[in-house]
Structure 1
Amino acid sequence: MDGRGTTSEDLTARTRIRDAALLEFAEHGVRGATIRGIAAAARVSVGLVQHHFGTKEQLREACDAHALETIRRTKQRAFDEGMGDPGFMAMAVEVALPIQRYMARALVDGSPAAAQLFDDAVAFTEELLASGAPGMGTPNTSDLHAYAAVMTGMNVGLMVLHEHLSRALGADTLSREGYRRLALAILDINDDRLMSPEIVAHARAALQQLPAAGTGGGSDAE
């Protein structure tokens, strides 16, 4: 028992309930998941779920907080140890994939944690790009924040669209098999430069000259 009167059995039950809730929320969404279903998945009584978490909304908040902390911790480890470390990759797949499944559903259903996750991911990515890391080049951009935000959006989009990507790839992208194929494709895309420097330069110049709405360049109201 700790100083707050919490036993190790309490902590084990609480963790088991939370982990079961992550899977139930990921599968059915917050609206579809029930306290009874979560209790059954965790192999505990409904009363014990309510004892530890109170309402379903409070349980969802606990899952949100756990998901955010897990992702932050995983990203920090990637920053500290490098993504090329086999031990890190094994840990990331084991720990992050269930969390990604939960967050994918949260992003679709709408969740304060999902919004916070996106904002945190943009900030973390921008910091990483600005400070540099072993094996990473300096982004060729005059708007690092937009660069980081769009990069984050592309990565988050893979989570949201995991059902469609899984169908296209023939394997669940939130499983080891599907994730491996997805991640290898991401590496290939990041390693390739499909457009020539001339095309990029012309497109950039055209976009920079694109007038903003209300500056004489036409508008949707015309």
Structure 2
Amino acid sequence: MGEDAPEETTWVRIRDAALAQFAEHGERGATIRGIAKAAEVSPALVQHYFGTKESLRQACDEYAIEVFRRAEHEALDGGMGDPGFMAVAMRAGVAIRRYLARVLVDGSPRAAALFDDAVALNKELLQRDDPGMSKPTTDDLHAYSAVMMGMGFGLVVLHEHMSRVLGADTLSPAGYRRLALAALDVHMDVLLSEELAEQARASLKDLPDDET
């Protein structure tokens, strides 16, 4: 059935099947045979397009970061205020979020590279002059970007706990909607007074570099 499909369609179907298999079984548990079965093609065809499982995993990583990059740019270019864009982005991102939830706890060099790429992209976007967005006031933009990505990806990695306490799968559209709305509230609220924030900042800067 899948063997007669157009090349591009087959390639994409194999990659998408691999995303799901890596998300469910991890890099070690996922197999060429299992990916081929999920994509409804032969293992030989998977190897024809991608060669090895390593190459297939790399293609999935590249796709994940590209989807993330495109979504970030489109969101800041007006998509965030467009219900149509938000609906499409939410549906398209479910598979990517499931994949990232597994990849980011694998401890592989690829996971590290993917996170580093995301931090670099976020740092780049924070320096743009986009309507509706303010530039950060931090004097350590790299750390600021890293913390933002850590918080965002942390919600993905902790999706089982988040889903349990929210009563809905946060990797599904319904659960993600509630999670994203709460995240927007967190970004909008200013919980600390300026005075308290300055006191905390001064205390942190006075901390010694070691425990002695």
| TM-score normalized by the length of structure 2 | 0.90
| Structure 1 consecutive aligned stretches of length 4 or more whose deviation exceeds 3 Å | none
In 2: Cα distance, 1:96 partner to 1:147 partner: 24
Could you say which residue in structure 2 is the equivalent of 1:107?
Answer: 104
Match of 2:59 among 59, 62, 83: 62
In 2: Cα distance, 1:87 partner to 1:184 partner: 16
Q: Is the 8 A contact 2:61 2:114 kept in 1?
A: no
Q: Which runs of 5+ in 2 are unaligned?
A: none
Q: After alignment, is 41-50 or 75-84 more displaced?
A: 75-84
How far off its partner does 1:8 sit?
A: 6.7
Could you say which residue in structure 2 is the equivalent of 1:34?
Answer: 31
| TM-score normalized by the length of structure 1 | 0.87
Could you say which residue in structure 1 is the equivalent of 2:126?
Answer: 129
Q: Deviations over 1:99-154 (max 9, x none)?
A: 12111111111344432222222222222222232112232322222111111111
In 2: Cα distance, 1:66 partner to 1:159 partner: 17
Count of matched residue positions in the alignment of Structure 1 and Structure 2:
209
Q: After alignment, is 142-151 or 79-88 more displaced?
A: 79-88
In 2: Cα distance, 1:27 partner to 1:76 partner: 29
Q: Which runs of 5+ in 1 are unaligned?
A: 1-6
Counterpart check, 1:171 vs 2:168: yes
Q: After alignment, is 34-43 or 16-25 more displaced?
A: 34-43
Could you say which residue in structure 2 is the equivalent of 1:161?
Answer: 158
Q: Is the 8 A contact 1:129 1:138 kept in 2?
A: yes
Match of 1:143 among 137, 140, 162: 140
Q: Percent identity?
A: 62
Could you say which residue in structure 2 is the equivalent of 1:77?
Answer: 74
> Which residue identity lines up with residue 150 of structure 1 in the other structure?
V
SS at 1:180 equivalent:
helix
> Which residue identity lines up with residue 88 of structure 1 in the other structure?
F
In 1: Cα distance, 2:177 partner to 2:183 partner: 10
> Which residue identity lines up with residue 208 of structure 1 in the other structure?
K
Q: After alignment, is 49-58 or 153-162 more displaced?
A: 49-58
Q: After alignment, is 42-51 or 167-176 more displaced?
A: 42-51
- Tell which has more relative contact order, 1 or 2 (C-alpha 8 A, sep 6+): 2
1:39–1:135 CA distance, 2 compared to 1 (3 A): same
In 2: Cα distance, 1:44 partner to 1:187 partner: 42
Structure with greater Cα Rg? 1
Over aligned residues, Cα RMSD in angstroms? Answer: 1.8
Could you say which residue in structure 2 is the equivalent of 1:193?
Answer: 190
Q: Is the 8 A contact 2:126 2:135 kept in 1?
A: yes
